[in-house]
Structure 1
Amino acid sequence: MLDQLIPRAHLFGNPTKASARLSPDGRRLAWLQPDAGVLNIFVAPLDRLEDARVVTNDRKRGVRFFLWAYDSRSLLYMQDEGGDENFHVYVVDCEGGAARDLTPFEGVAAHIHRTSRKLRDRVLLSINRRDKRFHDLHSADIATGELTLVQENPGFAGFIPDDHFIPRLAIRNNKDGSREILRPDAGRSAWTPWIRFSAEDSGTSSALHLDVAAKTLFLRDSRGRDKAALARVDLSSGETKLIAESDKADIGHVITDRDTYDPVAYSVERERLEHVALDDRVKADIDFLNGRDIGDWGIASRAEDDSLWIVSAQSDTRPHVDYLYERRAKTLRILHQARPQLVGAPLRPMRPVTIKSRDGLDLVCYLTSPQAAEAKAPQPMALIVHGGPWGRDSFGYNATHQWLANRGYVALSVNFRASTGFGKAFVNAGDHEWGRRMDDDLNDAVDWAIRQGIADMSRIAIMGVSYGGYAALVGLTRNPQRYACGVAVVGPSNLETLLATIPPYWESSRAQLTKALGDPATEEGRALLRERSPLHAADRLAKPLLIAQGANDPRVKKAEAEQMVAALEAKKIPVAYLLYPDEGHGFARPENALSYHAVAENFLARHLGGRAEPVRAEELSASSLKIEKGASELALP
């Protein structure tokens, strides 16, 4: 008997409760929870969670990120309009009252830079109001909203401030792809290069933070090594000391001392996440948490006195759970389960596996197989390509994997070259390899799955979001007979127009983009961009394609989808095109996510032969979905 169908709403609808955050004084807990079907911030006394009250009133996209100010009363969050990523920063009192917009500027992108124990009534914001390309630093009075300019940005990628919001260092990306850390003169009117990361190291090296005295800078540093190490640099002498390194992977998240900001632990992740203690003060805590059967975990927030931690944990067959960890008593209790409706659901285990690319690289992959795979016969498979490409796939609960496996497909994710965390040689191996060796890595993983008897070679789909959408378009045009179908969500089709239309505030990162893709300022670069753009190979596409796009996407403009659709129509090649007028780079509204997955699920069932939950008309009408092309290809109600 096959596993029961898991409702799409249980996988892709709003979580029941999520993102628990402890107030700095340790007295209150805030979290996200649906109110009238939209995620909002709820607050309760830590010892009386049943007295929770909702303190925001979002009725559009929902709150997705928030944090406490150090006054332990104010909650700060960001919200944009329709996915345009022109974020405003809002503040709301935990006792209630209307949220206030700290950045009420049209067409401006604002971000929360940091809060500070030394300036509890203020928040440091980065705002691109003066020059759309570069974010200036402003200090905002939380109570009044008054903004004070801290530092005008002359063209830097960012700043590293101290606890008093004084920028002590700046980051500059250079045209040759290198990155520099600069130091200011006394008046911060001139900046002098201090530390340089070459173009080879800039993708894996970065400044992390200052210590509390602003005398030491902590770095991820790959200079002189392949895997990024954790290092400290004395600001006076420039002396650099190694703190930690791993031959498995780059140093990842760093846990710091609450008083000094010195690193006390770090994580590395190759196939699985590992935490390593640097200080005996946290070793017992890490050992304790590692010894509990909670899966892979991380610290979501901490009380200011560090007596209480909120620990967020998940495993491949268990969605996120937020725990309260009391360090002195060594007790751990569940606060919230993100998706309690999945408790007891037939979730499938995920298997990490490392395979070799054709040129010898280790590709860390993750495989989730359907129940039918237990019969040892090859199954239909979906290759899921992550976005970025400067990101990675990881072990753990993955809604897409569980959805596909439950519908009868093997789900395979591949950390192809250019994925991050595996060292600088692996990242740099992706330069000028979009649509070529990065695609070869995906093909090598598919070949492995076929050789292992895992995948039915005649029933394989390729799908992804952002870079993953681009990879799906490449896969279908470069290897027209390899895949039975493809799904591309907010995927670039033309690398020339992609680079020509990046958001203005990405200007400081332009050199890194051209280093990887090709330089449109040179004939050689333009030729490379044209060659690697699936738009120019549209006539090779031979299998069904589903494209989905947010109309307000500032990164991958709507034109990227529409020019691909137009090129296919000109060649009389069928294509289905979904447009979401109130979305940007992906789906923030659960109604839209559910309608997309309903359409995609039935599209896959039609072309791969898997199972599908029936599409309900109200499931589509509740969203903003517009089927722009190919309605007949989808056979929807």
Structure 2
Amino acid sequence: MLLAFAPLPMLSRPFDLLAELTLFGVLLSMIVGCGDVAPGPAAQAITATPTVHDSLETPQDTADRQATPLIPREVLFGNPDKAQSRLSPDGKWLSYLQPVEGVLNVWVGPADDPAAAKPVTDDRKRGIRGHSWAYNSKHIVYSQDKDGDENWHVYATNVETKQTIDLTPIEGVRGELAGASERFPDTLLVGLNDRDPRYHDLYRVDLKSGDRELLQQNPGVAGFVTDEDLRVRLAVNFTPEAGQVWLEPTAAEPGPEGYDDWQPMAEFTSEDAMTSGPAGFSKDGRTLYYEDSRERDTAGLFAKNLDTGEVSLVAEDARADVGGLLVHPTEHTIQAVAFTYSRIEWKILDEAIRPDIEFLKDFRDGEFQVTGRTLDDTRWTVAYILDDGAIQFFIYTRPASGAATGERSMRFLFKSREDLDDYPLAKMHTPVIAARDGLPLVSYLTLPASVDPEGDGRPDAPVPLVLDVHGGPWSRDGWGYNPTHQWLANRGYAVLSVNYRGSTGFGKNFINASNGEWAGKMHDDLIDAVEWAIDEGIAQRDKVAIMGGSYGGYATLVGLTFTPDVFACGVDIVGPSSLVTLLENVPLYWSQFMPVMKLRVGDWSTDAGREALLERSPLRFVDRIERPLLIGQGANDPRVTQLEADQIVEAMQSRNIPVTYALYPDEGHGFARPENRTSFNAVTEAFLAEHLGGRYEPIGKDFEGSSLHVPAGADGVPGLSAALPAERKQMPQAEEGDDPQE
């Protein structure tokens, strides 16, 4: 859970969905988001020429599909060659992620000679998935947990000595990076829940020594907002009615444990709580920027002068909430605001930056993301997102701020994967589908290139469809290169991702329409999207699969129990099977957020509320399952615990209903280790081919190095049982160590 907010250069998504702007949105993404659960990067190389499996096809179908090269899973899901380019604040260094012996680590080299970069971190198991620079330009900062338990530790690596310090060295405690400022380049703010597992206290931590000093003891709130002087200015909490309240300290100066008395500054009802929240302070600390949807639908960006109380609207869009900011690196003025409906659109506030945005928009196709800016603002790192190609990284050089003239230039750095250029990739289309009650559902559709030669998003004839449901549910799908879409389209499927009601970014009415609608109208939206695809001649009615992670996994189980005739099969990744056991087994640090869950999901604390939740739980309706089901689960998942998978598998087995259960003893809410991801992708691909009739690449060596256990249903997936040792066809033993090779 985020504890403090420091203004960011920009919230960007070179590999992940665009983050929500507000502190509230960041809290949501860390509490209930699931961007990590979809089949993702894998490290296992494919050494043999991929072969093709086709079933239920005519000879002409087979000929057409075999004319399109089968893209190896390693190319689509393997670790990137390089990723996440970052310039140090002083512009001296360039950092990025690159594998070392198959594990992603941070590499650093001179900005003028990236080829001289060397690894500075030494992760040997899970891989580093994100990193940033400290303002001193000497330390790389990143977080890592243990086997998916989400008890994150915050690490700082000196790029010259390669010495790494654990800034939160307490086992079983969740540490979180909570703030930074160029005024204190050797200091970070870090949150720790060591005193009380429900609440994170805020500490100042010295990057060089690791010494920490208490800044603010948590009085029982969700998080804090700090300014550029690293002073605590606001506390943010959820009300018992699922609203949001901002609290300000009453004293002029904090005591030894921070402020101990607070008074309300602003309050939002539950109607606006999920689309409103503080975004940060101006450089002088006298202006508060915040997102607000009161007396409107979509959230606009507002500024409040704290001296006069005057409020002004900074930016708005009628279709979308505020999605991201472009902020000056030292002045902290907001220069441009991003809004995302189907695609990102920028609204420019500072005319001085208009030439830069126009230059970047015209330089390449696709969407650009500014991933970092030097403090002198003469160089930016920029990533270009395409829907049918690798991400491209550049250093953009611009005139110094205030300069009357100067040239603009781009220096190419690298692509995320060079080998993607060797294969044909498909375009992503952006249909907006009308739900049965008229709500517009912004969606993303990818078709096999061989069936859509005109590129208009309509195949020559209907094809099998995979409905890929995002998690959260308070997150969203977006446009851009999506390895899951490319993978499945290459195998012969149409792939459809739908922003069903409850998805974020489309205004408060769209989110509030999902209250109490798990397995209700939220699921109706998915069914309406399937019917649209069938009516449009895209999908074959008898060959539609549903898959997804977290809420998407729950939607999969709902699909097979509440609408058992719609889907030919389902793939559930870390999805809850019972809403009662889900809500009874959340981590303790979710305690402040639980009023929101009670309103929007259901009340597990009363008999009537529990019964209503059970009526929307797939576990109660196991008898209705008629179609094949594949379940993937991490044993250490703190959000959707292993109980959720175990209990529905047990219920199905007791009724002799076939199910395939893939369990990973060293994973949590999704599969982080490359070997585990590639093994699950291999199982999923064969499973879908068996029931939808697409192509698949045999499992081959894709189980090597993984911890995969299949305690149920190994015979239900082609090639799975033969590729798996006998001891891996049982539940893993509790004493099994961290090393899956042992």
TM (norm. structure 2) is 0.85
Shift of 1:555: 0.5
Partners of 2:202 and 2:338 in 1: CA distance: 30
2:19: which partner in 1?
Answer: none
Q: Quick one: percent identity of the two aligned structures?
A: 47
Give the conservation status (yes or no) of the 8 Å contact 2:433–2:442.
Answer: yes
Using CA pairs under 8 Å that are at least 6 residues apart, name the structure with larger relative contact order, 1 or 2.
2
Q: 1:117-143: CA deviations, max 9, x gaps?
A: 111111110111111111110000111
Matches of residues 6-405 of structure 1 in structure 2 within 5 Å? Answer: 6-186=71-251, 187=254, 188-328=259-399, 329-374=407-452, 376-405=460-489
Give the conservation status (yes or no) of the 8 Å contact 1:392–1:421.
Answer: yes
Partners of 1:445 and 1:254 in 2: CA distance: 32
2:616: which partner in 1?
Answer: 532
1:470: which partner in 2?
Answer: 554
Partners of 1:278 and 1:522 in 2: CA distance: 50
Give the conservation status (yes or no) of the 8 Å contact 2:369–2:385.
Answer: no
2:48: which partner in 1?
Answer: none
Q: 1:507-562: CA deviations, max 9, x gaps?
A: 11111111110111233321221111111111100000000001111100011000
Partners of 1:299 and 1:487 in 2: CA distance: 35
Partners of 1:585 and 1:42 in 2: CA distance: 27
Partners of 1:275 and 1:418 in 2: CA distance: 24
Partners of 1:501 and 1:312 in 2: CA distance: 39
| Letter of the 2:101 counterpart | A
Shift of 1:259: 2.8
The worse-fitting range, judged by mean Cα deviation, of 73-82 and 92-101 is 92-101
Matches of residues 498-577 of structure 1 in structure 2 within 5 Å? Answer: 498-577=582-661
Partners of 1:235 and 1:180 in 2: CA distance: 17
Partners of 1:390 and 1:62 in 2: CA distance: 26
The worse-fitting range, judged by mean Cα deviation, of 316-325 and 460-469 is 316-325
Which SS does the other structure have where 2:433 is aligned?
Answer: strand
Partners of 2:372 and 2:198 in 1: CA distance: 32
Give the conservation status (yes or no) of the 8 Å contact 1:13–1:591.
Answer: no
Q: 1:360-380: CA deviations, max 9, x gaps?
A: 100011110113423611100
Shift of 1:262: 2.2
TM (norm. structure 1) is 0.99
2:702: which partner in 1?
Answer: 619
Give the conservation status (yes or no) of the 8 Å contact 2:88–2:137.
Answer: yes
1:418: which partner in 2?
Answer: 502
Partners of 1:327 and 1:496 in 2: CA distance: 55
Give the conservation status (yes or no) of the 8 Å contact 2:84–2:96.
Answer: yes
| Letter of the 1:419 counterpart | S
Shift of 1:239: 2.4
Give the conservation status (yes or no) of the 8 Å contact 2:551–2:575.
Answer: yes
| Letter of the 2:325 counterpart | V
Partners of 1:282 and 1:543 in 2: CA distance: 55
Number of matched residues?
636
Shift of 1:298: 1.3
2:711: which partner in 1?
Answer: 628
Give the conservation status (yes or no) of the 8 Å contact 1:13–1:593.
Answer: no
Shift of 1:276: 1.5
Q: 1:538-595: CA deviations, max 9, x gaps?
A: 1100000000001111100011000010111111100000001111111111111111
Give the conservation status (yes or no) of the 8 Å contact 2:121–2:157.
Answer: yes
Give the conservation status (yes or no) of the 8 Å contact 1:228–1:245.
Answer: yes
Partners of 2:505 and 2:382 in 1: CA distance: 23
Shift of 1:252: 0.9
Partners of 2:667 and 2:330 in 1: CA distance: 41
Partners of 2:319 and 2:378 in 1: CA distance: 32
Which SS does the other structure have where 2:314 is aligned?
Answer: strand
| Letter of the 1:608 counterpart | L
Partners of 2:608 and 2:303 in 1: CA distance: 40
Partners of 2:449 and 2:705 in 1: CA distance: 32
Shift of 1:236: 3.0
| Letter of the 2:98 counterpart | Q
Q: 1:92-132: CA deviations, max 9, x gaps?
A: 11113331111110100001112111111111101111111
In the alignment, structure 1 residue 440 sits paired with structure 2 residue 524: yes
Q: 1:377-435: CA deviations, max 9, x gaps?
A: 11000000000000111111001000000000000000000000000000010110001
The worse-fitting range, judged by mean Cα deviation, of 471-480 and 230-239 is 230-239
Which SS does the other structure have where 1:607 is aligned?
Answer: helix
Which SS does the other structure have where 1:621 is aligned?
Answer: coil
Partners of 2:548 and 2:338 in 1: CA distance: 27
Partners of 2:655 and 2:311 in 1: CA distance: 59
Partners of 2:678 and 2:327 in 1: CA distance: 39
Which SS does the other structure have where 1:449 is aligned?
Answer: helix
Partners of 2:385 and 2:268 in 1: CA distance: 35
Which SS does the other structure have where 1:538 is aligned?
Answer: helix
Which SS does the other structure have where 2:524 is aligned?
Answer: helix
Partners of 1:588 and 1:79 in 2: CA distance: 11
Partners of 2:417 and 2:383 in 1: CA distance: 13
| Letter of the 1:514 counterpart | K
Partners of 1:327 and 1:521 in 2: CA distance: 58
Which SS does the other structure have where 1:318 is aligned?
Answer: coil
Which SS does the other structure have where 2:559 is aligned?
Answer: helix
Output the aligned Cα RMSD: 1.0
Which SS does the other structure have where 1:200 is aligned?
Answer: helix
1:579: which partner in 2?
Answer: 663
Give the conservation status (yes or no) of the 8 Å contact 2:89–2:137.
Answer: yes
Q: 1:444-495: CA deviations, max 9, x gaps?
A: 0000000011100010100001100000000010011111000000001011
Q: 1:57-104: CA deviations, max 9, x gaps?
A: 110101111111111111111111001000111111111333111111
Q: 1:131-168: CA deviations, max 9, x gaps?
A: 11111100001111111000000111110111222101
Partners of 1:77 and 1:372 in 2: CA distance: 42
Give the conservation status (yes or no) of the 8 Å contact 2:425–2:449.
Answer: no
Q: 1:268-300: CA deviations, max 9, x gaps?
A: 111111111101111111111111224112111
Shift of 1:264: 1.0
Give the conservation status (yes or no) of the 8 Å contact 1:465–1:490.
Answer: yes
Give the conservation status (yes or no) of the 8 Å contact 1:208–1:218.
Answer: yes
| Letter of the 2:235 counterpart | A
Give the conservation status (yes or no) of the 8 Å contact 1:7–1:613.
Answer: yes
Partners of 1:244 and 1:378 in 2: CA distance: 43
